[in-house]
Structure formats: C-alpha cells, structure tokens
Amino acid sequence: MSDQTLSPAATHPGRDAGDNRSFIDDFVELSAFGATPAGGVERQAATAEDGEMRSWLAAWLDRNGFTVEFDRVGNMFGLREFAPGAPWLLAGSHLDSQPRGGKYDGAYGVLAAAHALHRVVRGHETAGTVPGFNFAVVNWFNEEGSRFKPSMMGSGVFTGKIPLEKALTTTDVTGVSVGEALGAIGSLGAGDAFGDGTGRQVGAYAEIHIEQGRELDKSGIVLGLVDSTWGANKYEIAVTGAQSHTGATAIADRQDALYGAALVVVALRELADRFGEDLHTSCGQLTVYPNSPVVVAREVYLHLDLRSPSDDLLDEADALLRRRFAEIEVQADVQIERRFAHTWKGQQYQSEGVDLAAQVVTDLGVSSMKVQTRAGHDSTNMKDTVPTVMLFVPSVDGVSHAENEYTTDEDLCTGVDVLTEVLHRMAGGALS
C-alpha cells in the first residue's frame, strides 16, 4: 500500500512521508509477541510474553530518545523532558492481552501514543519551538484483569483508586503474586514515576483504542469521540451445595452447586433480555469444585458482569438479581454469596476534551461520531484526575477479546494522525 492511501488527512505538524509505513511495520513486529496460530495474541499481564513485548517497547523508546522507567506497580513510562518543572502530557494504553485475545486491543494504543508523541516532538524540533509540556508514553500494567483481578490495575493504583499493597499481593490461580510476577519480568520499579516527591506532575492524558462494539463499523465512520462510559457492576459469586454421587444420590436429596450456578447464568441472560440493549450481562468465569464426572459439585465460583449507561437501571438490575438469587437458593437447595468485585458508575469524559477531538477531526477531514464506551479503559481512571481525551477507531464487526479482532491499516494510521494532532494541540495548552 502507498503511504498516500493510508492517510489522506496528514496535515498536522511533524508529518513525514514514511510515518504510516513505519507505524504499520512496527505494529507487525509488536504483534509477533505471544502470537497465536489463529491470528490473535496471548500475553497476559506479567507473563514471559508480556515481558518480551515490554523489552521490545523499551528498545523502541530508547532508540527514539525516550527514557524508560517503571513504577512500583509495573506501569512502564517512556519519558521525554523538555521543560523541567512543566506538567507532563501522558498518552498510552496497555500491552497485556486476554487469553487468545486480539492483537489490536491495547497494543495499538501504546504504539499509536509512542509514534504520535514522537511526531509531536519531531515537529517541535523541526520548528525550533519548545512545548509547554513534557511528554510520556505509558504502558499501563494489567488492564485486562484476566490473570490478576481487578482489571485496570496499573492505572487504578496510579490514580489512587487501588492501594499499591493490595495490588502487589494479588495472586493468580497458581498463587503467584503481582509483585513476584513483575519482578520476574524485570518490570518492578523502586519508586513512583509521577506525583509527590518525584518532581513530575501529570497535566493531561490521551488514549486511542479500538472500539469494542460495532457502532463505528456499522456506521462506516472512522473516528469515535468517547464522551461517556457505561457503569459496571462486577460480582464474585459463590454457590455452595454439598458433594454427593451423580448417579446414586436421589434428586430430591441433592444440593447441586453447579445446577444453582447454571440457574444464575441463565437468570443473567433473562435479565439482559428484559432490559434490551441498555443492559449487558455476562458470566465469563465459572469454576467448579471438585469438577469430577461422577461427583455432584459442592462449590461453584462465578464472576458476573453487569453494564449499563444508566446507573438507575444498574441498581434495578442488581435488585432483581438479588431476588432471583433467593429463589435459586430454594430451587437448587444451595447458598449463594455475592460480593462486589469492582464497580464503577456511568461517567462523562470532560466535554472540553471531546470538543478538542471534534475540532481536530473536522480540521483533518476525518469522519467522526460521539460514542460511549461499554468497556472500562485506563482513561476511565485518568479522566477523574486530569483532562483526558479518549478516541476509538473501528473494529470490523465489533469483534473484541477474540483472535479475529481486525482493524484496517488505513483506520489504524488515521487514528495515529488524529491522536498526533490532538496531542499537539494539548501540548499547546488546548485543555489547560
């Protein structure tokens, strides 16, 4: 493909003829880490594959004039300081993936931020100007939350929402802690990178990500301006019954924890069907004990996920679910314990950031629409502390958390162009 066909909108400062080719080449290299035969990637947080990818990014940052630092929860920064004491403009996303996940989710945003900030810097160097911000690329630790719960862990600690010690002592199913796993891949820093005592303050944040839904794709629109995020209730559920014989024990005597859990999973879908597209419900994780073919299960653990643009609807769904749990306890003769694992309210991104991004896409001639995000992102945390811009590019058929996730090279490159211009204007004080 020619550079020209990739990006018709290359009017911003720092644009070079080879930028698109360079970005796509780097993205292809990056996508090799943890690559799966079906075209996806598997590099869960702080695994060897995550570590190798971090080494690749560190080499890229170093080669392009950024200094690499890790903070105490494994967030990875590429720092480019121009004006000591000036605020820092951060841009990034995450390199970790789901098991058999897609290659665009997170990784695209980190590489896009690195290329975009590199172009912004180059623009200033070419023009001989000094920006009002210092710049940092960020690769947030464990956005996915598949190996270590909860998700968005690195940005959660960074923004003070999750205590550092709690994050570091979180273990995976094999008992390995976050602290141990980060140490093993050489990603555990000795101190903070930003905030009190570091002499560095974050002034603003920007992130670009594939849309995890099909709004953009079905509308044929290239850029999504994220103006709000759905609220989410994530629950950990324990269903307790009593172990018995699958063949011999009379049905009336059974306290089948798996039957109870199955009723919970079915109830979740019935809840979604009741509220239509304003409620998403799901159970992605369900673990049975003892999980033997001829033993009625004594315990089942489930991780439930309810999301909605309406906090009221989420409260109503929660109440209905609790009532249904009480019925299931009777129906299956089991106990159900429920606790919130992670919860956030539906929230707005700052309108100034949305307006800035809207102006940029208009100026660059890129089609755009306002979109909501149903998924959480690191920007969901960052927007609560600093001015933040969140952008989406389309994902074909809305595929997400799957190996066949796909975004065209053209859309990827347009996204980098838009992010570059947004960061350029933010560095010029557009959101200050």
In the annotated binding site for Zn(2+), the residues are 94, 105, 144, 209, 401
Tell me how far, at minimum, the Cβ of 360 lies from a copy of itself, in Å.
Answer: 25
Concatenating the DSSP letter of every residue in 337-383 gives EEEEEEEE--EEPPHHHHHHHHHHHHHHT--EEEEEESS--HHHHHT
What gap in Å lies between CA 119 and CA 49, rounded to an integer?
Answer: 28
Q: Say if CB 114 and CB 208 are below 8 A apart.
A: no
Select from 264, 90, 101, 316 the least CA-distant residue to 193.
90
Burial class (CB in 10 A: 0-12, 13-18, 19+), 247: exposed
Strands 88-93 and 335-344: unpaired
Q: In whole angstroms, how far apart are CA 406 and each of 210, 216, 224, 287, 418?
A: 9, 13, 16, 30, 19
- What residue numbers does the annotated binding site cover? 94, 105, 144, 209, 401
Q: Collect all residues with Cβ–Cβ distance below 8 Å to 190 and sequence separation of at least 6.
A: 72
Tell me how far, at minimum, the Cβ of 294 lies from a copy of itself, in Å.
Answer: 6
Q: Which is nearer to a copy of itself, 16 or 305 (CB)?
A: 305
Helices (H), 128-256: 153-158, 164-168, 178-184, 215-219
Q: Which is nearer to a copy of itself, 31 or 229 (CB)?
A: 229
Q: How far is CA 73 from the centre of its chain?
A: 16
Tell me how far, at minimum, the Cβ of 176 lies from a copy of itself, in Å.
Answer: 17
Tell me how far, at minimum, the Cβ of 33 lies from a copy of itself, in Å.
Answer: 18
Q: Which is nearer to a copy of itself, 75 or 97 (CB)?
A: 97
In the block, tokens 């971090």 appear at: 54
Q: Which is nearer to a copy of itself, 273 or 327 (CB)?
A: 273
Q: Which is nearer to a copy of itself, 159 or 255 (CB)?
A: 255
Strands of the sheet containing 231-240, edge to edge, are: 280-289, 299-308, 231-240, 335-344
Q: Say if CB 192 and CB 405 are below 8 A apart.
A: no
- Structure tokens belonging to residue 298: 């004594």
Coil/strand/helix, residue 329: helix
Q: Which is nearer to a copy of itself, 89 or 261 (CB)?
A: 261
Q: Which is nearer to a copy of itself, 72 or 103 (CB)?
A: 103
Q: Collect all residues with Cβ–Cβ distance below 8 Å to 397 and sequence separation of at least 6.
A: 214, 217, 406
Tell me how far, at minimum, the Cβ of 18 lies from a copy of itself, in Å.
Answer: 34
Q: Which is nearer to a copy of itself, 86 or 295 (CB)?
A: 295
What gap in Å lies between CA 113 and CA 360, rounded to an integer?
Answer: 16
Q: Which is nearer to a copy of itself, 196 or 277 (CB)?
A: 277
Q: DSSP class of residue 142? A: -
Q: Which is nearer to a copy of itself, 232 or 360 (CB)?
A: 232
Residue 343 φ/ψ, nearest 5 degrees: -150, 140
Beta strand spans in 64-110 (E): 67-70, 76-80, 88-93
Tell me how far, at minimum, the Cβ of 111 lies from a copy of itself, in Å.
Answer: 21
Tell me how far, at minimum, the Cβ of 256 lies from a copy of itself, in Å.
Answer: 7
Tell me how far, at minimum, the Cβ of 413 lies from a copy of itself, in Å.
Answer: 23
Assess whether the previous peptide bond of 13 is cis (omega < 30° from 0): no
Tell me how far, at minimum, the Cβ of 285 lies from a copy of itself, in Å.
Answer: 5
Tell me how far, at minimum, the Cβ of 93 lies from a copy of itself, in Å.
Answer: 15
